[in-house]
Chains A and B, each alone.
Chain A
Amino acid sequence: MHIPDGFIPLWQTGIYYIITIIALYFALNWAKENLDEKRVPLMAVLAAFIFAIQAMNIPIPWGTSGHMLGAALVAIVFGSPWAAVLVLAVVLTVQGFFFGDGGITALGANILDMGVIAGFTGFGVFKALQKLNLWVAIFLAGWASIFVASLAVAIELALAGTFPYDLGLIFMGLYHAIIGIAEGAITVVAILAIQRVRPDLLHWNKTKSDSEVDK
């Protein structure tokens, strides 16, 4: 759902840039306080994984395809949506500048949708449902993150006069409700894999493992 150049008028892209820069300020502050020696490599591996998996478009019906975003994954692993903002900002900037995926003028909007909105939605759903069932919460966090982000894109493009409101919300929502199943499933698999090889890297194991392993 990378918005290309020309879909949003420049003055509106400026507003999205400003919101994104404010979010990045908070995300960098979070990183400053919370990243330790072993979480920098974890974050970098997740950035590499998300870059690669975003190139893996999965077919869905109606001659359409989609890929996961990864924001919910990062937010859950790090226990903070700010981590997702940072990782997606890096991935989307590399995609925009090196591969022409997502317009440079739309980069602020793309980070806002796929980093900030997807990250906070995924993290919120995870937190709300975590106590009911951990893995169901992770799956639904992944699903909701991309679904809500796609609705945000539809609203931005409607404000831009590029999509009609109703059809934009219907098509974007419908496509991404289906892509969300893949997002949820891959999020679960990735966290299961980390839980298996390095449970101490998962935020919800942090206090326990830090006393055992690090100190």
Chain B
Amino acid sequence: MKAKDKKFVIGGLIIAIIIAILAPFLASSDPDGLESAAEKILLIEETEPMFEAPLPDYLVPALGESPLGGAISIVIGTIIAFLAMVGLATTARWFKSNSDDS
């Protein structure tokens, strides 16, 4: 990777992680647009999720409902999203170089 690309990635990740840390302190905990609409007009019974996520609702279960747990889990998610995107994009490019070789 070129030096200026590296700088862009580091700068971009720092901004993302700052947002991730601040989010649980600053974000509104009001229901979002869909939840709010559902509270008013839902025609069915709500059900449990099909699957129990490891960090449900962006909280670390051991830390309870503290914003700290929120910050930790959102930072973890930000890094996972970054790595998953690198993985997927690199895989797509790998197919390209393979089809070029053949």
- Measured CA separation A60–B36 after assembly (Å): 11
Produce 1/0 per residue, A12-39, CB < 8 A to B.
0000000000000000100111010111
Q: Which of B1, B20, B99 has the most C-beta atoms of chain A within 10 angstroms of its own C-beta?
A: B20
Given contacts A48-B82, A103-B49, contact A65 B27 (CB under 8 A): yes
Question: In the complex the two chains form, is B93's CB within 8 Å of A64's CB?
Answer: no
Produce 1/0 per residue, B18-57, CB < 8 A to A.
0110111011111111101110111110111111111111
- Measured CA separation A3–B34 after assembly (Å): 8
Considering the complex, give the chain A residue whose CB is closest to the CB of B22.
A56
Select which of B12, B31, B34, B41 is within 8 A of A167 by beta carbon: B41
Name 24 interchain pairs, CB-CB below 8 A, sorted by A: A28-B92, A31-B88, A32-B93, A32-B99, A38-B5, A41-B86, A44-B89, A45-B12, A47-B84, A51-B80, A55-B70, A56-B26, A57-B32, A63-B36, A64-B36, A65-B31, A90-B85, A95-B77, A98-B76, A99-B57, A99-B73, A167-B37, A172-B33, A197-B11
Considering the complex, give the chain A residue whose CB is closest to the CB of B8.
A198
Select which of B1, B58, B86, B92 is within 8 A of A55 by beta carbon: B58
Q: Which of A115-123, A128-136, A156-164 forms part of the interface with chain B?
A: A156-164
Question: In the complex the two chains form, is B33's CB within 8 Å of A66's CB?
Answer: yes
* A104: chain B residues within 8 A (beta carbon): 49-51
Given contacts A1-B33, A5-B47, A66-B33, contact A100 B16 (CB under 8 A): no
* A192: chain B residues within 8 A (beta carbon): none
Given contacts A43-B85, A98-B55, A150-B33, contact A35 B74 (CB under 8 A): no
Given contacts A90-B88, A168-B37, contact A42 B8 (CB under 8 A): yes
Produce 1/0 per residue, A189-215, CB < 8 A to B.
000000001100100000000000000
Question: In the complex the two chains form, is A48's CB within 8 Å of B8's CB?
Answer: no
B37 to chain A, nearest CB (A): 4
Question: In the complex the two chains form, is A67's CB within 8 Å of B5's CB?
Answer: no
- Measured CA separation A93–B9 after assembly (Å): 22
Question: In the complex the two chains form, is B53's CB within 8 Å of A98's CB?
Answer: yes
Instruction: Enumerate the 8 nearest inter-chain pairs by beta-carbon distance, A residue then B residue, closest first.
Output: A6-B47, A100-B53, A45-B12, A175-B33, A47-B85, A65-B28, A31-B92, A51-B81
Question: In the complex the two chains form, is B8's CB within 8 Å of A40's CB?
Answer: no
* B29: chain A residues within 8 A (beta carbon): 57, 65
